[in-house]
């Protein structure tokens, strides 16, 4: 859970990267079918949710069907990460979870 001033803005469900039968979809299903249904207060301020199994990183909004969850697209400066899933995951999280992205405010560099 990513909290900003105590408000839960991003829910992140991370599954194990060591079991081939587990994917980011398992995390997304848990968010969509369990947390959204049984703990709706977590989503009052929610901006988006993230699901990963350590290889792929997908996100969606409240109530969005899992088939429509998408990967976070890295910018061209990220380099070639095709054979390094953990590096891709790290770069995606660092890129997506920046304050101006989560809060949709202009970037002041």
Taking only the tens place, the pLDDT of each residue in 57-77 is: 999 999 999 999 999 987 666
Q: Confidence band (pLDDT; 50, 70, 90) for 20?
A: confident
Q: The whole model's pTM is what?
A: 0.83
Angle at 102 between CA 22 and CA 68, to 5 degrees: 45
* Count of C-beta atoms within a 10 Å radius of residue 65: 9
Taking only the tens place, the pLDDT of each residue in 37-61 is: 999 999 999 999 999 998 899 999 9
Q: Quick one: DSSP state of residue 66? A: G
Query: In 3-state terms, the chain is what percent helix, strand and coil (to 5)?
Result: 40, 20, 40
């Amino acid at each position: 859970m990513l909290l900003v001033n105590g408000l839960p803005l991003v829910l992140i469900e991370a599954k194990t990267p060591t079991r081939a039968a587990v994917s980011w979809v398992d995390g997304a299903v848990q968010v969509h079918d369990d947390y959204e249904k049984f703990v709706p207060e977590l989503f009052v301020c929610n901006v988006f949710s993230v699901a990963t199994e350590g290889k792929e990183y997908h996100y969606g909004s409240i109530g969005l069907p899992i088939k429509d969850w998408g990967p976070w697209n890295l910018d061209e400066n990220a380099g070639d990460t095709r054979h390094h899933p953990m590096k891709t995951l790290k770069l995606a999280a660092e890129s997506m979870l920046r304050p101006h992205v989560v809060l949709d405010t202009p970037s002041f560099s």
